Structure 1
Amino acid sequence: MFQKKGKLGFADIAVSKRNIKVSFLEKIDKLIDWEEIEKVILKNYNRGKR
């Protein structure tokens, strides 16, 4: 079943929102200094053995 041009379907809206979230998270990922956070976590967190 084909949609008329100009109308958005549910999947179109879902993909659009997902792209916005991914874009936002990529920007946040670039701004955060993960190495410093990792140092604090590793210093205070004891890893369990499996």
Structure 2
Amino acid sequence: MLKVSSLSKVYKRTTAVDDVNFDVSKGEIAVLVGPMVQVSPQQLKVLSVC
């Protein structure tokens, strides 16, 4: 299971990711989309170091 709670990332004064929360259970498929129906590179970068 993957659980993400209150994921945020700020660069200087710019908020790249703001309070993202989600759970993915075993066997589920999840897709991350942003406001323009695309995955934010910053979301993936922050998740990869957690």
**Which has the larger strand fraction?**
2
Q: TM-score range by the shorter chain?
A: under 0.3
Higher relative contact order (Cα pairs below 8 Å, separated by 6+ residues): 2
Structure with bigger gyration radius: 1
Calculate the TM-score normalised by the size of structure 1. Answer: 0.22
